[in-house]
Amino acid sequence: MNRFASTTLVTLLGLAFSAATFAAKPEEAIKYRQGVMAAQGWNMNAMGAMVKGEKPYDKAEFAKRAVNLAALNKMALEGFTIEGSDKGETKAKSEIWTSMDKFKGGVDKLNAESAKLAQAAQGDDLNAIKAQFGEVGKVCKGCHDNFRNK
């Protein structure tokens, strides 16, 4: 890419990002975070089927999903930072905004555990992979118990 093209790209990305950040409506933020969460669930379910033996273990597929999950986790928090998104078609509890540090702690924990899963998935120790999958699942559940309405 030449210098002009890369400068233009950086400018365009900057515009797209600031537009998304400043113009985001609460209902868009809710849809965004629910979409990211749904994608996390999608990947967890697919890995879970392999962990439980409902589907044959496929190392490349599992590793790809673990990496995707780690990336999705990093994207979720943004959807909870838009003002007014505590109200609407959402199962998010108001405690998220009164205990934001604790909530962020859950996001950080998931980042750490999902990165470890992606790491473990590079290897061939299935017991370690299964155990780490369980650790990730615990973090999902812990946060849902504290911060998501049934």
Please report, as ranges, the residues that interact with ligand HEC according to CB under 6 A: 30, 33-34, 37-38, 40-41, 44, 69, 90-92, 103, 106-107, 110, 136, 139-140, 143-144, 147-148
Inter-CA distances, 62 with 39, 44, 78, Å: 15, 10, 26
Q: How far is the CB of 130 from ligand HEC (least distance, A)?
A: 15
Q: Which amino acid is at 84?
A: G
| CA pair distance 17, 14, nearest whole angstrom | 5
Our CB check for ligand HEC shows the closer of 37 and 51 to be: 37
The dihedral over CA atoms of 134, 138, 140, 143, expressed in degrees to the nearest 10, equals -170
| CA pair distance 61, 81, nearest whole angstrom | 32
Our CB check for ligand HEC shows the closer of 41 and 81 to be: 41
Our CB check for ligand HEC shows the closer of 59 and 144 to be: 144
Q: How far is the CB of 12 from ligand HEC (least distance, A)?
A: 29
Our CB check for ligand HEC shows the closer of 55 and 93 to be: 93
| CA pair distance 25, 20, nearest whole angstrom | 9
Q: How far is the CB of 29 from ligand HEC (least distance, A)?
A: 8
